[in-house]
Structure 1
């Protein structure tokens, strides 16, 4: 099918494709070449005749398959570009490209943000209750498989371990592609005593890894039950932050001592009741702090009553962090301190 006076480079993704499909791709490339050659004589210097595909088109080219049911795009110009490109490479799939027009952010609408947080965290939960723990070091990546709340009798332990390991292998193959983890990956599967089961798991993992476009090598389980994978990175590794700084301790791991917190509350209360002469004040605190203030026959709340000569209401707000507190006036407006 190679035309005269042309050279052809066959990419590895072409493996297993039929002649008709390869010829169609080749004719598309020739059509682009002819279009380029027609433009060239008329083009003035410094004007682009032909450009490399943008990142979106490259991504569509690499991953688009018949498994796709919809491709949603929230940008009009990008939608037109993608639809045009898909029409060019696969006209029958043009209908799946759709313009997202809702006011709600596209990631929120489809739950992508939540999936990213769940999928890129240190712990990845599996459907059956098992989970993976993914650790990264300078030298290698380590994935530990845990059965979680899945338990079985002694007779079924081996079978249960195999099922959990196969389920984990599927997610591990997916995680390697999602995060594009390159270099050495060591997987600590749940121990299995039967060599036949270890072989079943190894073959299952190899089959799952066939979907991975990156060059990789999988070694059989070692005598310690570890599976080693070397994988070539296709793009920069995805490192998404899935944890947030604690609003209570500001990431230090330490919070204000409760006795100091009570001093702060009482100090502010003194200013509000005696300096600003506020009446019918309400103190809003976390439920744990509220319980501490109300605790005992002669509670802090009663001590404040005797000290200030007026009753301070305590309101529990579960959304507050432990050391957060606010004062409300008689009109339920926050008193600025």
Structure 2
């Protein structure tokens, strides 16, 4: 009998990024830097996303932040430098086309001059995953499972936050609330007035949870098949859910969100915006990492189906094809009908 762990490792070996592809990405960053420093001599290329978190697949997007002095950006944006700007854009496009031919599969490269918080989000995710050898294969499988869904998948970043939050709720818990990594003020690092620093030198507390990857995966599906997304906000920073009403009564968020509350009161940030599904960013606390209502119901349906498949495998002691069964699942007409009914009800209430 082929165990779940053996099937999982066989899948990961097939889909995770290869050393050759990783080197291609490094070459892309180097060429991009050489192009940009002709105009921005002090610029830096700072990768983020799956290439940093360790969750990249062969066909994953490539993400990088271009760190440039604000005075240089203003200089470039003047009308006098329109030709220079056009030259920069064309050179960058040519570099991306060159490397697109190198990659075996189509890869998108997202180049950003804004939102530096993504860099520290990625570093935090890497730190958390590296804290326990069970976590990387767990994250990799759930991410690939989500990517493989024909409908109802959620964004990679939102999914990672859902996994982190679930691991904060296990009993015993595996991951601590992010706020506990910000107790030591010497690690404070402010980006756009949000604290994106965290203690990455101390080891996380050793968990007493000894569950296998298979058991944790089953628990993930069970947790989210029943989770009340509509009225709760998922908050990995605090390591717990808040009722949506708490974000309308700011004092209910104290002491966890003192900085957020202060910034709302002084007008330097907006209120956390309620959406169909509410997942709060780990550092930028006014940001809702949005999942559409339709995808939320579909995602819950997929979690329910996956949980049932795992239970059937356990009941019948049949694990030989469990990974393929999970990756090739499709929601039945009954589930789709329930999703449509819920969406219609939600629409009539709004």
| TM-score range normalised by the length of the shorter chain | under 0.3
Question: Structure with the greater relative contact order (CA < 8 A, sep ≥ 6): 1 or 2?
Answer: 2
Q: Structure 1 or 2: larger helix share?
A: 2
Which structure's CA Rg is the greater one?
1
- Return the TM-score normalized by structure 1: 0.22
